[in-house]
Structure 1
Amino acid sequence: MALLLQYTLIYASVLLLVALGGCFSERSGIINLGLEGIMVAGALGGALVMKYMPNLSPAAMVIGVVIGSVVFGMVFSLLLAVAAINFNADQTLVGTAMNMLATAAATVFVKAINMAENPNNVASTIQYIDQKKAFSIVKIAGFEINWFMIITIVLLILANVVLYHTRLGLRLMACGEHPQAADSVGINVYKMRYIGVLISGFLGGLGGIVYITAGVSEWKFENGVAGFGFLALAVMIFGQWKPNLIALAALLFGLFRALSNVYSGFDFLVSLNIPGTFYKMLPYIISLLVLAVSSKKSRAPKAEGIPYDKGQR
């Protein structure tokens, strides 16, 4: 049970961070289907910090990995910002291309650095066995609390404060609802949308490093992040673009994902004789069902996905 709780909170943290990133982007008016790619980019940035700075103190390791992942995530998210905001490109196509690019580019990059160190090593894997210990805070009765869980809670609180209690958040949401009206009162819509996309890169990149360090001590980048970016989109929609509801949805989806890791430890689940692959499919099946049921009641930002035309009124 402790292991189920631990995995649930870890996967919920990943989904919450990435879904909040999508929320900020869409609240500004930009659909971010590239969250999967941003996660891969962030995971690569954090993994490289662990690979090349293995002797950092625990505190410095946590800070360094967080910085590496969010910087890579934000830089990669600029592809969406430039294409969608400056060139009015189709946001769905750009996001899809980003997802395909990220995994391929990360795989080639990691293989290249491994071969530079050892010509016989063509793996797309980065190991961080000892470095992972820096993320653990305390272990109680088999349940481990790590820094990423704490950071996620802090960022959830900040997301609520920023969106609903600051000028930045209110302006951001105005640009996703009525950009022409926002522009008429002096709000720079382009700037707000850039900020929204960069925040999504920040949170999505962080979610990527949390995902790859969840239960393993190395990561093969050609595996990507197993559709977690799309799961996060389902969490965001189910949570109606509201941080607190997104957090509850993330816990629900995190529980279903955690079952695939620990179902063999529950006799009543084993007795059902259901193949283990079913539990791995379960969160994706649930996401389809949830979206099918809740899609009619969803209230997305009115201007999301619509390129802003300054001359239109």
Structure 2
Amino acid sequence: MDLLLTFIQKAIGQGIAILFGATGEIVTEKSGNLNLGIPGIMYMGGISGLMGAFFYEKNVANPIPLIGLFISFLMTFIVSALGGFIYSFLTITLRANQNVVGLALTTFGVGFGNFFGGSISKLAGGVGQISVKTTAAAFRASVPVLNKIPIIGDLLFSYGFLTYLAIIISLSMTYFLKHTRKGLNLRAVGEDPATADAAGINVTRYKYSATVMGAAIAGLGGLYFVMEYYGGTWSNNGFGDRGWLAIALVILALWNPNNAIWGSFLFGGLYILYIYLPGLTRATQELCKMLPYLVTIVVLIISSKRNKHESQPPSSLGKAYFREER
């Protein structure tokens, strides 16, 4: 029982960063933009939040955890949103290829994170010496009182606020996309921007807004991983392929943020399954790590066979729209 409980907790812990990334990408893709820069934006979000907390704690004699949390959160949100703006400017205004820009943004983001991570390490006294435990403690604080309930407390109330925020954002985005006028307009832009434009919807504004907001949400996945999962430390290339798993989760979730919640926990469990399976060789461990991608491929095949419109990506996904060519 204890082993199962630990596994579920670890699966949720692994899945939350992926959930932030997937939710942000779903919002972006609903506008018709395909942002493959999400992995890089998660790196940018993680390191910028850590930098904000590090310099705050370094220059204040008695740092207050909640102030460090606010600064860290704000830095992540701004830098990640800026990454989304850069992508939008290059692909929408300058008409650059979405795939090329996205992959370039991922390369830049990873380099950005590793460069500043190494620089802060030197300021902190050496590689691996970055520590913002005061701020991280605020991120990792679990739900008081309820976390003391046997089993249920550990399973549901032992996480930091970013875990619950990820779920709230996903639920809110589902409601926004399905039940609000702006959400329906955004979906219309992603399905047929020319028709949406003819109906008086500002396609450019919606594409910019969705991409910038999607990037800001995805960047919180990097902040979660650094602050809540890693406890306020930085490791170069420590995110692994979680950013790409977030993009794969978009497909598994069938472009529905609600589905991304359980899908992220599934991915988190599959990602660490090899740790709990005895007798695996290094090769079979790597095969286990492929399971999330295999599940995504199976779901993609099944959904394409059923051909239900609600299970398909937005019709204009990845396609540039220029009003003068309408």
Q: Which amino acid aligns with 2:94?
A: F
- 2:33 counterpart (21, 26, 30): 30
Please give the alpha-carbon distance, in whole angstroms, between the structure 2 residues aligned to 1:114 and 1:245.
38
Does 1:44 find its partner at 2:47? yes
Query: Is 2:116 the counterpart of 1:109?
Result: yes
Amino acid of the structure 2 residue aligned with 1:183: D
Uncovered stretches (5+) of structure 1, i.e. residues with no partner:
264-268
- Letter of the 2:138 partner, please give it: A
Alignment of 1:1-313 (within 5 A): 1-54=4-57, 55-115=62-122, 117=123, 121=126, 123=127, 126-135=130-139, 136-138=141-143, 139-140=147-148, 143=154, 144-217=158-231, 219-260=233-274, 263=276, 269-270=277-278, 273-275=279-281, 278-279=284-285, 282-283=288-289, 285-296=290-301, 297-298=303-304, 299-313=312-326
Counterparts of 1:175 and 1:74, CA distance in 2: 20
Equivalent pair of 2:32/2:318 in contact (CA under 8 Å): yes
Q: Shift in Å at residue 226 of structure 1?
A: 0.5
| d(CA) in 2 for partners of 1:58, 1:218 | 12
Deviations, residues 132-157 of structure 1 (Å, cap 9, x unaligned)? 21121245468322111121122122
Quickly say closer, same or farther: Cα 1:165–1:125, change in 2 above 3 A: farther
Contact kept in structure 1, 2:63 and 2:134, CA below 8 Å: no
Secondary structure of the corresponding residue to residue 126 of structure 1: coil
The answer as to whether partners of 2:78 and 2:216 remain within 8 angstroms in 1 is yes
CA distance in 2, matches of 1:190, 1:126: 41
- Alpha-carbon distance between aligned partners in 1 of 2:265 and 2:121, rounded to the nearest angstrom: 37
* Distance verdict in 2 for CA 1:225–1:281, change over 3 Å: farther
Q: Report if the CA contact (8 A) 2:31-2:190 is conserved.
A: yes
Residue segments in structure 2 that go unaligned for 5+ positions in a row: 305-311
Match of 2:130, SS state, is strand
Give the C-alpha shift of residue 243 in structure 1: 1.2
Give the letter aligned to residue 243 of structure 2: G
Change in Cα spacing, 1:134 to 1:87, as seen in structure 2 (3 Å) is same
Q: Percent identity?
A: 25
> Does the CA contact (< 8 Å) of 2:21 and 2:221 recur in 1?
yes
Counterpart Cα distance in 2 of 1:206 and 1:72: 10
2:142 aligned counterpart, secondary structure: strand
For residues 128 and 104 of structure 2, what CA distance do their matches in structure 1 show?
21
Contact (CA 8 Å) 2:135, 2:232: kept in 1 or not? no
- Deviation track 1:62-95 (CA, whole Å, cap 9, x = no partner) reads 3332222111111122221111111121111111
Q: Which moved more, 1:128-137 or 1:35-44?
A: 128-137
The structure with the largest strand share of the pair is 1
- For normalisation by structure 1, the TM-score amounts to 0.87
Instruction: Judge conservation of contact 1:41–1:102 (CA < 8 Å) in 2.
Output: yes
AA aligned opposite 2:247: L
Distance verdict in 2 for CA 1:130–1:280, change over 3 Å: farther
**Are 1:37 and 1:102, in contact at CA under 8 Å, matched by a contact in 2?**
yes
**Structure 1 residues 275 and 133 mapped into 2: Cα distance closer, same or farther (>3 Å)?**
farther
How many Å separate the matches in 2 of 1:216 and 1:209? 10
Question: Whole-Å Cα distance in 1 between the matches of residues 313 and 286 of structure 2?
Answer: 29
Q: State how many pairs are aligned.
A: 301
Q: Give, in whole Å, the separation in 2 of the partners of 1:186 and 1:124.
A: 53
Q: Distance in 1 between matches of 2:120 and 2:268?
A: 33
Residue 308 of structure 2 corresponds to which residue in structure 1?
A: none
In structure 2, relative to structure 1, the CA distance for the partners of 1:125 and 1:158 (3 Å cut) is farther
Q: Which amino acid aligns with 1:5?
A: I
Q: What is the Cα deviation at residue 104 of structure 1?
A: 1.4
The secondary structure found in structure 1 opposite 2:159 is strand
CA distance in 1, matches of 2:292, 2:256: 18
The 1:307/1:53 distance shift into structure 2, 3 A limit, reads: same
Partner Cα distance (2:17, 2:11) in 1: 10
